[in-house]
Protein backbone atom coordinates (compact mmCIF):
# COMPACT_ATOMS: atom_id res chain seq x y z
CA UNK A 1 0.00 0.00 0.00
CA UNK A 2 1.07 3.56 -0.71
CA UNK A 3 -0.39 6.75 0.70
CA UNK A 4 -0.22 10.44 -0.06
CA UNK A 5 0.58 12.77 2.83
CA UNK A 6 -3.11 13.68 3.06
CA UNK A 7 -4.10 10.03 3.39
CA UNK A 8 -1.44 9.44 6.05
CA UNK A 9 -2.80 12.42 7.98
CA UNK A 10 -6.32 11.02 7.81
CA UNK A 11 -5.11 7.55 8.79
CA UNK A 12 -2.97 8.65 11.75
CA UNK A 13 -4.93 11.64 13.03
CA UNK A 14 -1.98 14.04 12.85
CA UNK A 15 -1.80 17.03 10.54
CA UNK A 16 -0.06 17.24 7.17
CA UNK A 17 1.89 20.16 8.62
CA UNK A 18 3.30 17.88 11.33
CA UNK A 19 4.20 15.24 8.74
CA UNK A 20 6.05 17.84 6.68
CA UNK A 21 7.92 18.93 9.78
CA UNK A 22 8.90 15.33 10.53
CA UNK A 23 10.24 15.16 6.98
CA UNK A 24 12.19 18.41 7.37
CA UNK A 25 13.98 17.23 10.49
CA UNK A 26 14.60 13.74 9.09
CA UNK A 27 12.40 11.96 11.61
CA UNK A 28 10.01 10.53 9.01
CA UNK A 29 10.88 10.84 5.33
CA UNK A 30 8.48 9.68 2.60
CA UNK A 31 9.38 6.62 0.58
CA UNK A 32 9.54 8.76 -2.54
CA UNK A 33 8.34 11.91 -4.22
CA UNK A 34 6.14 11.23 -7.25
CA UNK A 35 6.23 13.04 -10.59
CA UNK A 36 3.71 15.59 -9.35
CA UNK A 37 5.87 16.45 -6.34
CA UNK A 38 3.68 14.70 -3.77
CA UNK A 39 5.17 12.82 -0.81
CA UNK A 40 4.36 9.11 -1.01
CA UNK A 41 4.52 6.85 2.05
CA UNK A 42 4.69 3.06 2.15
CA UNK A 43 4.25 0.38 4.81
CA UNK A 44 7.74 0.96 6.22
CA UNK A 45 7.01 4.65 6.80
CA UNK A 46 3.59 3.90 8.29
CA UNK A 47 5.22 1.51 10.78
CA UNK A 48 7.80 4.13 11.69
CA UNK A 49 5.09 6.75 12.21
CA UNK A 50 3.28 4.38 14.55
CA UNK A 51 6.48 3.97 16.56
CA UNK A 52 6.94 7.74 16.68
CA UNK A 53 3.42 8.21 18.01
CA UNK A 54 3.97 5.47 20.59
CA UNK A 55 6.93 7.38 21.99
CA UNK A 56 5.16 10.74 21.72
CA UNK A 57 2.39 9.27 23.91
CA UNK A 58 5.09 8.80 26.55
CA UNK A 59 6.04 12.50 26.15
CA UNK A 60 9.45 11.69 24.69
CA UNK A 61 11.17 14.55 22.86
CA UNK A 62 11.37 14.35 19.07
CA UNK A 63 15.17 14.47 19.07
CA UNK A 64 15.29 11.55 21.50
CA UNK A 65 12.85 9.56 19.37
CA UNK A 66 14.98 10.22 16.32
CA UNK A 67 18.15 9.03 18.05
CA UNK A 68 16.37 5.90 19.22
CA UNK A 69 14.85 4.97 15.88
CA UNK A 70 18.08 5.69 14.01
CA UNK A 71 20.14 3.54 16.35
CA UNK A 72 21.51 0.59 14.30
CA UNK A 73 20.78 -1.67 17.28
CA UNK A 74 17.15 -0.57 17.56
CA UNK A 75 14.86 -3.58 17.94
CA UNK A 76 11.21 -2.72 17.08
CA UNK A 77 9.81 -5.83 18.79
CA UNK A 78 11.74 -5.20 21.99
CA UNK A 79 10.77 -1.52 21.93
CA UNK A 80 7.12 -2.43 21.45
CA UNK A 81 7.25 -4.83 24.39
CA UNK A 82 8.78 -2.11 26.58
CA UNK A 83 6.10 0.34 25.45
CA UNK A 84 3.42 -2.24 26.27
CA UNK A 85 4.81 -2.67 29.79
CA UNK A 86 4.92 1.10 30.30
CA UNK A 87 1.28 1.38 29.24
CA UNK A 88 0.33 -1.35 31.71
CA UNK A 89 2.10 0.60 34.44
CA UNK A 90 0.20 3.73 33.44
CA UNK A 91 -3.06 1.80 33.54
CA UNK A 92 -2.22 0.56 37.03
CA UNK A 93 -1.55 4.13 38.13
CA UNK A 94 -4.88 5.33 36.69
CA UNK A 95 -6.69 2.40 38.32
CA UNK A 96 -5.24 3.43 41.69
CA UNK A 97 -6.37 7.03 41.16
CA UNK A 98 -9.87 5.91 40.16
CA UNK A 99 -10.08 3.66 43.21
CA UNK A 100 -8.96 6.52 45.47
CA UNK A 101 -11.61 8.83 43.99
CA UNK A 102 -14.33 6.17 44.32
CA UNK A 103 -13.43 5.50 47.95
CA UNK A 104 -13.32 9.21 48.70
CA UNK A 105 -16.82 9.69 47.26
CA UNK A 106 -18.18 6.95 49.54
CA UNK A 107 -16.15 8.33 52.47
CA UNK A 108 -17.54 11.85 51.96
CA UNK A 109 -21.06 10.39 51.93
CA UNK A 110 -20.34 8.66 55.25
CA UNK A 111 -20.78 5.22 53.72
CA UNK A 112 -17.30 3.88 54.53
CA UNK A 113 -14.27 4.63 56.67
CA UNK A 114 -11.04 5.65 54.93
CA UNK A 115 -7.60 5.61 56.50
CA UNK A 116 -5.23 8.53 56.00
CA UNK A 117 -2.95 6.20 54.04
CA UNK A 118 -5.77 5.26 51.65
CA UNK A 119 -6.49 8.94 50.97
CA UNK A 120 -3.08 9.45 49.40
CA UNK A 121 -2.07 6.09 47.92
CA UNK A 122 -3.36 6.99 44.44
CA UNK A 123 -1.37 10.20 44.32
CA UNK A 124 1.79 8.45 45.50
CA UNK A 125 1.33 5.80 42.84
CA UNK A 126 1.05 8.57 40.26
CA UNK A 127 4.25 10.24 41.47
CA UNK A 128 6.03 6.89 41.49
CA UNK A 129 4.97 6.24 37.90
CA UNK A 130 6.13 9.68 36.78
CA UNK A 131 9.55 9.11 38.34
CA UNK A 132 9.71 5.64 36.79
CA UNK A 133 9.08 7.04 33.32
CA UNK A 134 11.67 9.78 33.72
CA UNK A 135 14.46 8.07 35.62
CA UNK A 136 13.62 4.38 36.10
CA UNK A 137 15.95 2.89 33.53
CA UNK A 138 19.01 4.88 34.62
CA UNK A 139 18.40 4.32 38.33
CA UNK A 140 18.01 0.57 37.86
CA UNK A 141 21.15 0.34 35.76
CA UNK A 142 23.13 2.13 38.45
CA UNK A 143 21.69 0.68 41.66
CA UNK A 144 19.89 -2.52 40.69
CA UNK A 145 16.31 -3.72 40.85
CA UNK A 146 16.42 -4.68 44.53
CA UNK A 147 17.48 -1.23 45.73
CA UNK A 148 14.92 0.56 43.56
CA UNK A 149 12.13 -1.79 44.64
CA UNK A 150 12.95 -1.19 48.32
CA UNK A 151 12.93 2.56 47.79
CA UNK A 152 9.59 2.43 45.93
CA UNK A 153 8.04 0.33 48.69
CA UNK A 154 9.31 2.79 51.28
CA UNK A 155 7.78 5.69 49.35
CA UNK A 156 4.36 4.04 49.07
CA UNK A 157 4.32 3.37 52.80
CA UNK A 158 5.09 6.96 53.77
CA UNK A 159 2.53 8.69 55.92
CA UNK A 160 1.12 12.11 55.04
CA UNK A 161 3.30 13.62 57.75
CA UNK A 162 6.41 12.01 56.27
CA UNK A 163 5.59 13.31 52.78
CA UNK A 164 5.14 16.80 54.23
CA UNK A 165 8.46 16.39 56.04
CA UNK A 166 10.19 15.54 52.76
CA UNK A 167 8.75 18.64 51.12
CA UNK A 168 9.85 20.82 54.05
CA UNK A 169 13.37 19.38 54.05
CA UNK A 170 13.68 19.87 50.29
CA UNK A 171 12.61 23.51 50.56
CA UNK A 172 15.18 24.14 53.29
CA UNK A 173 17.82 22.53 51.10
CA UNK A 174 16.81 24.69 48.11
CA UNK A 175 17.01 27.87 50.23
CA UNK A 176 20.53 27.02 51.37
CA UNK A 177 21.56 25.95 47.88
CA UNK A 178 20.58 29.35 46.46
CA UNK A 179 22.96 31.03 48.89
CA UNK A 180 25.85 28.71 47.98
CA UNK A 181 25.29 29.42 44.28
CA UNK A 182 25.51 33.14 45.00
CA UNK A 183 28.57 32.98 47.26
CA UNK A 184 30.49 30.03 45.78
CA UNK A 185 31.43 29.10 49.35
CA UNK A 186 31.57 25.33 49.44
CA UNK A 187 32.77 25.08 53.05
CA UNK A 188 30.15 27.44 54.45
CA UNK A 189 27.40 26.64 56.93
CA UNK A 190 24.92 26.86 54.07
CA UNK A 191 26.85 24.24 52.10
CA UNK A 192 26.82 21.95 55.13
CA UNK A 193 23.08 22.54 55.44
CA UNK A 194 22.56 21.61 51.79
CA UNK A 195 24.36 18.33 52.31
CA UNK A 196 22.69 17.41 55.60
CA UNK A 197 19.23 18.26 54.29
CA UNK A 198 19.78 16.34 51.06
CA UNK A 199 20.99 13.31 53.01
CA UNK A 200 18.03 13.55 55.40
CA UNK A 201 15.63 13.85 52.45
CA UNK A 202 17.23 10.89 50.70
CA UNK A 203 17.23 8.61 53.73
CA UNK A 204 13.46 8.91 54.15
CA UNK A 205 12.88 6.81 51.02
CA UNK A 206 16.21 4.98 50.79
CA UNK A 207 16.46 2.34 53.53
CA UNK A 208 19.74 1.10 52.00
CA UNK A 209 21.42 4.51 52.04
CA UNK A 210 25.18 4.57 51.64
CA UNK A 211 27.81 7.18 50.95
CA UNK A 212 28.52 5.55 47.60
CA UNK A 213 24.85 5.83 46.64
CA UNK A 214 24.81 9.48 47.65
CA UNK A 215 27.90 10.30 45.62
CA UNK A 216 26.54 8.38 42.66
CA UNK A 217 23.31 10.36 42.73
CA UNK A 218 25.27 13.59 42.73
CA UNK A 219 27.07 12.50 39.60
CA UNK A 220 23.78 11.58 37.95
CA UNK A 221 22.44 15.06 38.68
CA UNK A 222 25.07 16.56 36.38
CA UNK A 223 25.40 13.64 33.98
CA UNK A 224 21.76 13.53 32.89
CA UNK A 225 19.94 16.65 31.72
CA UNK A 226 16.63 15.43 33.17
CA UNK A 227 18.09 15.22 36.68
CA UNK A 228 19.86 18.53 36.20
CA UNK A 229 16.66 20.21 35.04
CA UNK A 230 14.84 19.16 38.21
CA UNK A 231 17.20 21.28 40.31
CA UNK A 232 18.06 24.00 37.80
CA UNK A 233 14.40 24.74 37.11
CA UNK A 234 13.63 25.12 40.81
CA UNK A 235 16.73 26.84 42.13
CA UNK A 236 18.49 28.40 39.14
CA UNK A 237 21.39 27.81 36.79
CA UNK A 238 24.25 25.75 38.23
CA UNK A 239 21.99 24.26 40.91
CA UNK A 240 22.65 20.64 39.92
CA UNK A 241 26.37 21.31 39.44
CA UNK A 242 26.62 23.05 42.82
CA UNK A 243 24.67 20.34 44.61
CA UNK A 244 26.93 17.67 43.16
CA UNK A 245 30.05 19.54 44.26
CA UNK A 246 28.67 19.76 47.79
CA UNK A 247 27.79 16.07 47.85
CA UNK A 248 31.23 15.04 46.61
CA UNK A 249 32.82 17.29 49.24
CA UNK A 250 30.89 16.06 52.27
CA UNK A 251 29.79 12.50 51.44
CA UNK A 252 32.76 10.64 52.92
High-pLDDT (> 70) share of the chain, %: 78
Q: Which of 232, 208, 228 has its CA nearest to residue 218?
A: 228
Q: Are 188 and 180 in contact (CB under 8 A)?
A: yes
Q: What is the pLDDT of residue 86?
A: 74
Residue-wise pLDDT tens digits, 134-155: 666 666 666 666 666 666 666 6
pLDDT average, residue stretch 33-41: 94
- d(C-alpha 249, C-alpha 94), whole Å: 41
Between the CA atoms of 56, 80, 76 and 21, what dihedral angle is there, to the nearest 10 degrees? -10
High-pLDDT (> 90) share of the chain, %: 45
Amino acid sequence: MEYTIKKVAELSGISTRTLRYYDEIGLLNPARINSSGYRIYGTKEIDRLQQILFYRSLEMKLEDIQKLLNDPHYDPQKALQEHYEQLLEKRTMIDHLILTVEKTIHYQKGEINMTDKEKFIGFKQQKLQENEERYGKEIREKYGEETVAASNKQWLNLSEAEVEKMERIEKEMFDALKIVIQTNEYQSDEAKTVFSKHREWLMITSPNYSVEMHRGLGQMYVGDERFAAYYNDRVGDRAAETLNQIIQEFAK
